[in-house]
Amino acid sequence: MSTANWIIRTHSSPRLRLFCFPYAGGGASIYRTWPGKLPPTVEVCPIYLPGRENRIREKLFTHISPLVQALEDALQPHLDRPFAFFGYSLGALVAFELTRHLRRNQLPSPEYLFMAAHRAPQHPQHDSAVHQLPDPEFIRAVHRLGGTPEAVLQHEELMQVLLPILRADFTIYETYIYDEEPPLACPISAFGGEQDQTVSVQELEGWHAQTLGAFSLRILPGNHFFLHSSQDLLIQSISQDLTPILQSRLE
């Protein structure tokens, strides 16, 4: 598999790269407006996952370990300057495991982790078999999360494309097994939605145990997909947290 398809570079000499991992069923396009909203010295690098968008013909991943290994291969040439990870829902889990993988292999590690709409990994999963449900029940389970428009869920042709992506991503999440390792050195900021019924404040606070560095938790307006409803507030918080790192690179 070519490593050139995973990100599209847009900045020739950034002070920091922010790699952004999408939620289940999502793609790099959910971050399309971010480059104009973060400091100009930050290069936003959305992750283009196989099996969707411009990589629709490529094989989907269904387990986290091979996905993390492929991400290491793809991103390693771009870890030549300070970087941070932002992960949303399933993307937070992928970003977290990629960070631990980089540490185990003595590769550069992120300066900051932003974990949004996902419980800390040491907390037990709520569901474990949604990905095995027949299509009608699976679609109803996806609908309960609230991130897929009703018009899309009712559109048979669109769902024929989206269902395999969603099922593969849910399989990654539901087959994940947490292995205990020492906390990370980098700071972590966790984000949750006020009306999110799938991730509790206590589960978000659990991210504190995963870092030896600073930790913050912010609860923003919206449901599980506050990424869209509170995007500006979210980006403002990320910019605020990155400011000390960006300033230190000037000294």
Active site residues: 89
* Whether 187 contacts 195, CB under 8 Å: no
Cβ count within 10 A of residue 164 = 13
Q: Which residue from 21, 27, 22, 9 is spatially nearest to 79, judged by alpha carbons?
A: 9
Residue 180: which region, alpha, beta or left (left: phi > 0; alpha: psi -120 to 50)? beta
* Whether 135 contacts 106, CB under 8 Å: no
Per DSSP, what are the bridge partners of residue 31? none
Q: Which residue from 69, 59, 79 is spatially nearest to 7, judged by alpha carbons?
A: 79
Q: What angle do CA 234, 240, 244 make, to 5 degrees?
A: 150
